[in-house]
Structure 1
Amino acid sequence: MLISAALGVTAATLSTGAATAAEEGLAVPETLARDLVLPGAPTSATTTEFPLSHLGVSWTGDGEVGLRLRGAAGWADWQTLPGCGGGAGDGSVANTFGGVVAAPRATEYELATSGAVSELRISELNTVDGPIRRIAKPHAQLLRFAGHPVLARYYSRAAWGADESYRFKANGDEAWIPAYYPVQTLTVHHTGEPNETPDDDPVARLRAIYRFQAVTSNFGDFGYHLAIDKRGYVYEGRYSGTDASPVFGPNPGPDGRPMMVNGAHIGGWNAGNVGIVLIGNFSKPDWLPTAPAYRSLRAVLSGLARVLDLDVEATCNYVNPVSAATKTVITLSGHRNWVPTECPGNNFYPYLDGLRREVARRS
């Protein structure tokens, strides 16, 4: 059973812990943000405009970026930022890396680079202290794929407080128009924050990732199709249309199977590839998905495989319908099967073989 000793949580504590904004409803804080684009790492510490909850950093090139944060207790230790490659495009394999890290109440930060690093994009974020934005009181729903139920607690974009204005340009045009493709593969990710703690608010982190990907990284939306937190709650990611079903568009393909909306989770390999991200860092010593998170991941993958008639243990000769690029992968893969990265975590990746077998039995 996959319960991380480092997290120190159980199913009971997860179900009785403090409610998040998604559960309480009524109000969601607007995200405070300042974006910077720099040719390289600044030569001195940067002072923030407001205390941070998170900091997003991305860069071009395969070098490394280090970060240290300063809060009320002084400067923290240096940490290496996650180097997961992403990207909204499918024309070529992306050479952009980075992600979002927790920066609780930080007021200064310093960056250092090694190797090939250019065009640093920095997003100073506070997803907890901004002006309150009122939303309709949300309720957890039963997740459904194309009308078929999945036993997982699910929150729509509206329920977790997604700010839909991020999806639009200043002139009102949609920044990233949905396009729909037949599903060929399913890919598992982790968010990979180096400084995650058991007390992190997953919904606040979700809003930070969304703002960073949609605006700072110019994706135009959340890059993953679904996200799963340590309690096993499933969150709608990429906007797929006005229907109530996540991942898929309103119309089936020629073979009658649902068509997925394009995502932005592996640059160059997105179209036809569903991306599901677990919130957590499963390369940290002894860290693995909690039992509730693993069960929800298994349920989601089983539901997708069943609706799409996918053999998750089979080899897939993936063909990108946009670029015609090809790659041979297992139908249910980890991010690292596509590009060089630790994602979905050095500790969790060896469990994917067993996960495939369990999903195959349930679909």
Structure 2
Amino acid sequence: MRLRLSVPVALLLASTALPAAAAAEPPETTSTRIALRDATLTRDATREVHSDSAFDLVGLTWRGQAPEHIEVRTRTGSGWSPWTALEPIDSAPERGTQQGSEPLWTGRTDTAQVRASRGGVDVTGDLELVAIDPGTAPAAAPRSSAPGQPPVVGRAQWGADESQMTWPPEPTETKAVAVHHTAGTNDYRCRESADIVRAIYRYHAVELKWGDIGYHALVDKCGTIFEGRVGGLRDDIVGGHARGFNHGTFGVSMMGNYDRVVPSRDTVESVAAISAWKLGTARVPADGRTELIAGPADNSHFPPGAAVPLPTIFGHRDVSKTACPGQRGYEQLDEIRARATTLQRDNRP
């Protein structure tokens, strides 16, 4: 029988745990780029690529206009996976970043197929496939590092290679939490979660040239919270999770695709807990409303300079043209707000 701890008990255990041992050397994370124009194009406008080394996560990158439709599948010993649709990520090419799709956790494989089109015309030859091997490392236990903070697996504990972090922290003011999902797949084991975070970090920081992982926190389907953007827990730091609304927000991403799958109770509880704590540090009520000023973004619902009223916990789709955090994830926002409000009240001095 699994014993489930309430948030206050878990916090007490985490805060009274022995100090962490010195962090081990992070696993080596590598990535390979494969130009799809060199791959064979089949009759159904599919390109198949094979990597000389195995990988666990893929993304697609391009220059110029984004494809309207992108689908990926991979092959394992049991055959081909289902096709998975990937949305473009709204990047900032004028700042030297790379345009690309959402990442997809594939599990161990070395072969992928890609379909991409724009206006009904195949454009897979314009894309590059990024294949990432995050290495493996033992799962680290989450712990609390600040008063009232829910237990979190820190960057050193999940194996962040800080030499890849080239985006100096930029201060902001936390007015709201933006809730996301990483999309891709729910077909992962929670002991792989740190590997997934390392792979997303490599994709965001190195391959998309953001200089760091975009989210401030990530929550897996077992409810484990992972620290994201450097300094984003300790301080109010700009992230890279909702272009046009990165200033003034704290980005939390549920690891998985929650378009058709309902987030687990553990995930909802942990998203509520980290949101309640972070908003509480800024004296912002979890059930309140705020106003954010839209910045420039190709994928935004709002023009630059618009004053946008929002709940203090909102979904990515509220500000951007995206399905994120998925329909089923979006339907949990009321529960997340209610639970975060209760946690703020219970932890009030």
Report the TM-score range of the alignment, normalised by the length of the smaller protein: 0.7 to 0.9
Equivalent residue for 1:237? 228
Equivalent residue for 1:189? 180
Equivalent residue for 1:170? none
CA contact (8 A) 1:23 1:138 kept: no
Change (3 A) 1:76 1:332: closer
Equivalent residue for 2:143? 141
Question: CA RMSD, aligned part only?
Answer: 3.5
Secondary structure, counterpart of 1:303 in structure 2: helix
Equivalent residue for 2:205? 214
Equivalent residue for 1:316? 290
Alpha-carbon distance in 2 for matches of 1:213, 1:47: 23
CA contact (8 A) 1:186 1:332 kept: yes
* Aligned positions of 1:127-276 closer than 5 A: 127-128=134-135, 140-144=142-146, 148-150=147-149, 152-167=150-165, 175-194=166-185, 196-198=187-189, 201-240=192-231, 246-249=232-235, 260-276=236-252
> Is residue 2:314 matched to residue 1:333?
yes
CA contact (8 A) 1:187 1:332 kept: yes
Change (3 A) 1:112 1:303: same
Tell me how far 1:24 sits from its aligned partner.
12
Equivalent residue for 2:133? 126
Number of positions where the alignment pairs a residue of Structure 1 with one of Structure 2: 311
Tell me how far 1:345 sits from its aligned partner.
1.5
Change (3 A) 1:179 1:207: same
CA contact (8 A) 1:89 1:267 kept: no
Alpha-carbon distance in 2 for matches of 1:79, 1:23: 40
Tell me how far 1:183 sits from its aligned partner.
1.4
Greater shift in the superposed pair: 71-80 or 291-300:
71-80
Secondary structure, counterpart of 1:49 in structure 2: strand
Change (3 A) 1:310 1:88: farther
CA contact (8 A) 1:101 1:195 kept: no
Q: Which has the higher contact order (CA 8 A, sep 6+)?
A: 1
Greater shift in the superposed pair: 220-229 or 352-361:
352-361
> Is residue 2:327 matched to residue 1:346?
yes
Tell me how far 1:361 sits from its aligned partner.
3.2
Identity of aligned residues (%): 24
Higher helix share: 2
Tell me how far 1:58 sits from its aligned partner.
4.2
CA contact (8 A) 1:138 1:158 kept: no
Equivalent residue for 2:271? 297
Which of 45, 48, 51 is 1:45 aligned to?
Answer: 48
Alpha-carbon distance in 2 for matches of 1:61, 1:23: 45
> Is residue 2:69 matched to residue 1:64?
yes
Per-residue deviation, residues 215-246 of structure 1 (Å, max 9, x unmatched): 11111101000111122221110112xxxxx4
Secondary structure, counterpart of 2:82 in structure 1: coil
Runs of at least 5 residues in structure 1 that lack an aligned partner in the other structure: 1-8, 16-21, 168-174, 241-245, 250-259
Per-residue deviation, residues 261-316 of structure 1 (Å, max 9, x unmatched): 110001222111110111121113xx222222222211111112222121333332
Alpha-carbon distance in 1 for matches of 2:273, 2:94: 28
**Alignment-mate amino acid for residue 132 of structure 2:** L
Per-residue deviation, residues 173-224 of structure 1 (Å, max 9, x unmatched): xx32211011122101111114624567111111110100001111110100
Secondary structure, counterpart of 1:104 in structure 2: strand
Change (3 A) 1:33 1:95: closer
Alpha-carbon distance in 2 for matches of 1:331, 1:69: 39
Alpha-carbon distance in 1 for matches of 2:321, 2:315: 11
Alpha-carbon distance in 1 for matches of 2:292, 2:128: 31
Alpha-carbon distance in 1 for matches of 2:67, 2:48: 23
Per-residue deviation, residues 143-202 of structure 1 (Å, max 9, x unmatched): 42xxx322x2211100110011112xxxxxxx3221101112210111111462456711
Change (3 A) 1:198 1:104: closer
Equivalent residue for 1:282? 258
Alpha-carbon distance in 2 for matches of 1:98, 1:80: 10
Alpha-carbon distance in 2 for matches of 1:269, 1:38: 33
Per the normalisation by structure 1, the TM-score is 0.74
Equivalent residue for 1:54? 57
Secondary structure, counterpart of 1:186 in structure 2: strand
